[in-house]
Structure 1
Amino acid sequence: MIVRLVGGLEYKMNFKYGIPTMSRRDFLKAGSTAGLVFLGAGLAGCGGGTKSGTSANISAQKTVNIAVSSAAMALDPIVAGDSVSMGLISNCCEGLFVKDIDNQSVNGLCDTYEVSDDQMTYTFHIRDGVKWSNGDPVTAADFVYAWQRNAKAENGAADFQYQIEMAAIKDYSDVLAGTKDVSELGVEAKDGSTIVMTLEHPVPFLLDLLAFTPWAPVQQKFREDKGSSFALTKDDMLCCGAYTLTQYDVSGNTITLTKNPDYWDAVNVDVDVINLQVISDTQQAVMAFENGTVDYVQLTGDLVNQYKDTDGFAKEAGNFNYYLMINTTLPGLSNLNFRKAIAYALNREDICNNVLKDGSTPVNQMCMVGLFTKEDGTDFAAASPQLYTYDVEKAQETWKQAQQETDVREFTILYDQEKDFAQTTCAYIQDTLQKTLDGLTINLESTPKKNRIAREGTHDIEVCFHAWGPDYADPTAILAMYESDHPSNYSCWKNDEFDSAYEKANTTDAGNADARWDELMRCNEICTEQAVCIPIYQTGAATITRSGIEGVTQHITGIPCYYKFVTSK
């Protein structure tokens, strides 16, 4: 029996869990890519920054204002699919595990846990005294109920059902198929504070998975009492995290999180109030920084060069890969040579260095650097075949072949209208491809992010400028969306060889690190070869920070930032 105990200042103590040590760095999920901004001045009663470049508190209460590039879209853990929404949920409704400042999964509401020798039975013990914001205790039953909601795709919310499959919880196949009742899923509340999870096979990344938003607890009585209004407003959700949601309007531009005095680790939460404001224009954020009212700005484009020599400027790897997501069922786009010509014609270095200028790096395969490494330090993405480096000759050669195989010469790229960098990047792609591939016409269409997500879900796209961030530290967090039946397979691509290798990696080879590595490497190679989704770049984060603000993170997995680790001097 393996027993793991985290004591004292739990969130500072990392654990390892039977997989190679994960490289840190680079979330999920798309609202943070256009730019995080910390506003030091604020709403009425908030502390603010000064023009001298220091963060000043005008009262004993510490307040940090954060501008995000898009609004929160949902507050239900099994519905929210964007980084802003998932960040709200994870900060207000803590799960068994969280990500610390170094992107390591550490104990959240889980006090201790045990793992059986065969790595297929986990017993989790909830901390004593943890409470919901209505004063009720958080119980093991709250977690079991939440996971069962996800497994049965309550109210049609099926986007995160795959997490149940990735966790390989006993009888998940029959439960997801509807041939067994959700009560037969292999999770049980042994008592008020003890959860037992039984697996079909070992899952080396399980604890990292459990740090993600869909695994947050939900109180059954509260959920059922609220009915269709559950999680629609601040009064329709319960909180058990470092913060409570005290202001939220789905159509508003400001969201307020207030430090939870009943949180188990409240003594180590430094900032009292977090205000989120929707600011989509990076230039406006920079102007606010110059005026002394912004403490932290993520820069894009020419602003990077403008501020690169300024005190507080920094660059780091980001937490998304950007792709051209292609609907492979459509005429023309279903042709492999058509897609390969596009892949060869993209000058990724030029996009990163002369369009984005923010530290983004070219990507020629599906995974991002820093997501997963072997015990010997080999990075999965770096070791993968780099198949589509910029090559005009190959692009034009494969384009001529495509012209003989299809009459299609035109398609439309869809992108989010809220992201200024998306417009400039897609315009560059349009210009480059049309100049390189004779006779090709590319149309650009902008739409609100919410509409783009909905259209991807119904496959109402031709080509989409699409970001994907990993939910957990494993290649399957990226490769899963190419599985034939995965809900995020927006390309509608199916490949038997890929499906077979992917299944082996997650079942028969799950306990064999070397064999699993080889199967996943083959999966990455297959979908890259097929140009099913053309990788462009891994995001970078060029930032400028006023002194006094620390702990702002962009985790490569899960949500970008846990606010409990943010400090303000």
Structure 2
Amino acid sequence: MNRLFLTTALSMGLALPALAVQPAAGEKLAADQSYTFWLLDAIKTADPHKNSDVEGSDVIRQLFEGLLNEDAKGAPVPGVATKFDLSDDKLTYTFHLRPEAKWSNGDPVTANDFVYSWRRLADPATASEYAWFMELMNVENAPAVVKGEKKPEELGIKAVDDHTLEVKLTAPTPYFPKMVTHSSTFPVPQKVVEAEGDNWTQAGKLVGNGAFTLTSHDLGVQISMDKNPNYWDAANVVMEHIKGLTVNDNNVALTRYKAGELDRVQIPAGQYPSLEKEFPDQAISIPYSCSYGYLFNLSDKGPEALKDVRVRKALSYAMQRDVVVDKILQGGQKPSYNWTHWAIEGFQMPEIDYAAWSQAERLEKAKALLAEAGYGPDKPLKLVLQYNTDENHKKIAVAAQQFYKQLGVQIELNNVEWKVHTDRLQSQDFEMARYAWCADYNEASTFLDYFRSTGMNYGKFKNAEFDKLLDESKTAADPNVQYTAAEKIIAEEMPLVPIYQYAKVDMISDVIKGLPTENVMNDWLAKDIYRIEK
């Protein structure tokens, strides 16, 4: 067995306490240790196994804790587990859990909690959108369990004893430790879930093992959390209270930030250059591992026109990405001609042919392809583009409508609320839809696995060669060979219009310290932040 320690401080195999959050020289902690962050939409659920949203994960990360956490640069560090062993064949991970870990009701957190939780995630009865994550992790028997062909009890996870958890994989997975920082792998309290049913995540009933507890949740208005005194490292948590405020209008949210009601907010499209000049200590633009595009519905419920790859390519070629990035967003985002974010660790950006063309060349080729497909003045292509409520999405959609008008394509815009949007995506009730994918872990497969025929894949793209390449990548010495080939299939088959790759463009109050700015995942933990006096 190869013993892998998660910090150099653990070189003797002993779990040492985490270092307390320390103010820098000249900083003085404020008496009021509170943090208020912005949410664009309502949190659909605080259940780690039923959430599929980035904002939901931000909240869940405060209420629950997995085997491992991320440090300020995104590297795995101890969470409930202090260390792990890896077998010589790299197929068995043995996690050693800290005995002091407790649920917020005072019960101990044990290996059996993880066994129950991972089985629950994979169990078809849970109907989790993230059941597929168990497959991506290569956990033994996960595909058969997810399909209902084997019982959850046959999943490759077991409790050796209360503080020793064993996970068996079907293939060596070097990025596996990164994957267990994802919120879908977090434990939930079996007795509470079974006693309360679907109501177990309500304030007053939710029991978590994170650094904070849920105190109130007014859906679509606010969610409040207080420091958890039973958290194993509570003595080193400075922050006392955190709150998420839901504000659907980004400009209104910025106004509330300037009024001191919010400590962090997204900068509206086009305003970063002026805000960066006015507030250089508050405005940030950093790489953020999300990709934005317009997804095509290729399922049987989708429009016939989109089943023609010439139509899909024409729509992609006609998208003026430079206008979106340079004229609308203006926040350090990059035009996208592929799917995987450029800043993902180890990713080698492939050469995509149409990325090297001028926009005039792209438009010319788009017109030719559309004509080949039988569309023109006498038979215009008509499609509905759906997007969720947000000023930035609206501006891009309105611009896209004009781009496609140059192509002779008539686009009807359909703005819906977030829950309606996601429900329609999940049931393939759309034609084209605004979509973004944010990495679940810092490795290219998190993007490419999305388009597997068995992936989340709301547009229902299917390509046997694509699936085969991703299967091969799991055991490849250099998976970038397969990743490059897979990206080229996406560029050739065009299951979506890639538009831009994210930057995190935010205003952060200059009295809030400890938020990570060097982690491309942009995951944050309130236990690591603090407020200083001005």
- Please indicate, yes or no, whether the TM-score normalized by the shorter chain is above 0.5: yes
1:129 to 100, 108, 112: 100
Residue aligning to 2:206: 237
Q: Look up the match of 1:184.
A: 154
Q: Closer, same or farther in 2 for the Cα pair 1:174/1:301, shift >3 Å?
A: closer
- Note if contact 2:343-2:520 (Cα within 8 Å) is conserved in structure 1: no
Q: Does structure 2 conserve the Cα–Cα contact (< 8 Å) formed by 1:352 and 1:362?
A: yes
Mapped pair 1:355 → 2:328 = yes
Alignment of 1:2-401 (within 5 A): 2-5=2-5, 6=7, 7=10, 57=30, 60-157=31-128, 159-231=129-201, 233-249=202-218, 251-310=219-278, 311-312=280-281, 313-329=283-299, 330-373=303-346, 379-380=347-348, 382-385=349-352, 387-388=354-355, 390-401=358-369
Q: Give the whole-Å Cα distance in 2 for the aligned partners of 1:272 and 1:550.
A: 14
Query: How many correspondences in the alignment?
Result: 509
Counterpart in 1 of 2:418?
449
Q: Distance in 2 between matches of 1:154 and 1:235?
A: 26
CA distance in 2, matches of 1:479, 1:365: 10
Measured after TM superposition, the shift of residue 410 of structure 1 is 0.8
* Code of the aligned partner of 1:108: G
The partner residue of 1:562 within 503, 508, 525 is 525
How far off its partner does 1:166 sit? Answer: 1.1
> Which residue matches 2:388?
416
Shift of residue 536 of structure 1?
Answer: 0.6
Q: What is the rounded CA distance, in whole Å, between the counterparts of 1:333 and 1:200 in structure 2?
A: 37
Describe the shift of the 1:235–1:406 C-alpha distance in structure 2 as closer, same or farther (beyond 3 A).
farther
Distance 1:93 1:497, change over 3 A: same
Question: Could you say which residue in structure 1 is the equivalent of 2:490?
Answer: 527
Distance in 1, matches of 2:236 and 2:462, equals 48
Q: 1:484 to 1:222 in 2, by over 3 A?
A: same
AA of the residue aligned to 2:477:
A
Q: 1:557 to 1:156 in 2, by over 3 A?
A: farther
Secondary structure of the structure 2 residue equivalent to 1:501: helix
2:448 pairs with 1:475: no
Partner AA of 2:212 in structure 1: Y
Secondary structure of the residue that 2:446 maps to in structure 1? helix
Q: Tell me how far apart the structure 2 counterparts of residues 412 and 555 of structure 1 sit (CA, whole Å).
A: 38
SS class of match (1:529): helix
How far does residue 237 in structure 1 lie from its aligned partner after superposition? 2.1
Check whether the contact 2:213–2:227 (CA below 8 A) recurs between aligned residues: yes
Deviation at 1:56, TM superposition (A): 8.9
Instruction: Indicate the RMSD between aligned Cα atoms, in angstroms.
Output: 2.3
- Larger deviation: 307-316 or 518-527? 307-316
Shift of 1:213: 0.8
Q: Distance in 1 between matches of 2:490 and 2:131?
A: 23
- C-alpha deviation, 1:185, in angstroms: 1.2
Whole-Å separation in 2 of the counterparts to 1:84 and 1:368:
19
Q: Distance in 1 between matches of 2:203 and 2:519?
A: 28
Give TM-score scaled by structure 2 length: 0.90
Deviations 1:59-110 (A, max 9, x none): x341111121111111111111112222211211101011222111211110
Deviation at 1:563, TM superposition (A): 1.4
Q: CA deviation at 1:334?
A: 1.3
Contact 2:340 2:447 in 1 (8 A): yes
- Residue 386 of structure 1 deviates from its aligned partner by 5.5
In structure 1, give the amino acid aligned to 2:255.
M
Shift of 1:551: 2.5
Distance in 1 (CA, whole Å) between partners of 2:259 and 2:156 is 56
Instruction: State the AA in 1 paired with 2:529.
Output: V
Give me the whole-angstrom Cα distance separating, in 2, the residues matched to 1:137 and 1:395: 62
Give the Å deviation of 1:308. Answer: 2.2
- In structure 1, C-alpha distance between the alignment counterparts of 2:270 and 2:343, rounded to whole Å: 27
Aligned-pair distance for 1:253? 1.0
Alignment partners' CA distance in 2, 1:489 and 1:293: 38
**2:501 paired residue among 506, 515, 538:** 538
Residue 498 to residue 12, structure 1, CA distance change in 2 (3 Å): farther
Q: 1:415 to 1:83 in 2, by over 3 A?
A: same
CA pair 179-303 structure 1, distance change in 2 beyond 3 A = closer
Scaled by the length of structure 1, the TM-score of the pair is 0.85
Counterpart for residue 46 of structure 1: none
Which ranges of structure 1 fall in alignment gaps of 5 or more residues?
Answer: 14-53, 374-378
CA distance in 2, matches of 1:295, 1:218: 30
Of the candidates 485, 503, 510, which is equivalent to residue 547 of structure 1?
510
- Does the 8 Å contact 1:255/1:277 carry over to 2? yes
Shift in CA distance, 229/554, structure 1 to aligned 2, threshold 3 Å: farther
Residue pair 2:287, 2:502 contacting (<8 A) in 1 also? yes
- The structure-2 alpha-carbon separation of the partners of 1:461 and 1:55, relative to structure 1 and needing over 3 Å to count, comes to farther
Per-residue deviation at 1:219?
2.1
What are the superposed Cα offsets for residues 137-166 of structure 1, whole Å, 9 maximum, x if unpaired? Answer: 111100000000111133322x11111111
Pairing partner for 2:477 from 509, 513, 522: 513
SS at match of 1:466: strand
Alignment-mate amino acid for residue 329 of structure 2: L
Determine if contact 1:86/1:559 at 8 Å carries over to the other structure.
no
Q: For residue 164 of structure 1, what is the amino acid of its counterpart?
A: M
Deviation at 1:469, TM superposition (A): 0.5
Asked whether the equivalents of residues 472 and 557 of structure 1 are also in contact (C-alpha less than 8 Å), the reply is no
Asked whether the equivalents of residues 491 and 532 of structure 1 are also in contact (C-alpha less than 8 Å), the reply is yes
TM-superposed deviation, 1:174: 2.7
Give the distance between the partners of 1:356 and 1:118, measured in 2 at CA: 48
Q: Deviations over 1:435-477 (max 9, x none)?
A: 2x1x310110000111111111111110011111010112110
Aligned mates of 2:287, 2:425 — CA distance in 1: 27
Distance 1:392 1:489 in 2: 31
The letter of the residue matching 1:205 is: Y
| Contact preservation (8 Å) 1:122, 1:196 | yes
* Residue in structure 1 matched with residue 459 of structure 2 by the alignment: 491
Moved more, 459-468 or 170-179: 170-179
Structure 2 counterpart SS, 1:236? coil
CA-to-aligned-CA distance 1:240-283 (integer Å, 9 cap, x gap): 1111111113x351111111122122233221100111122232
Q: Which amino acid aligns with 2:102?
A: K
How far did 1:549 drift?
A: 1.2
Q: Does structure 2 retain, via aligned residues, the 8 Å contact 1:101–1:565?
A: no
Q: Deviations over 1:307-336 (max 9, x none)?
A: 121231332122321011011242111111
Aligned amino acid, residue 244 of structure 2: L
Tell me how far 1:554 sits from its aligned partner.
6.7
SS in structure 2 of the partner of residue 255 of structure 1 = strand
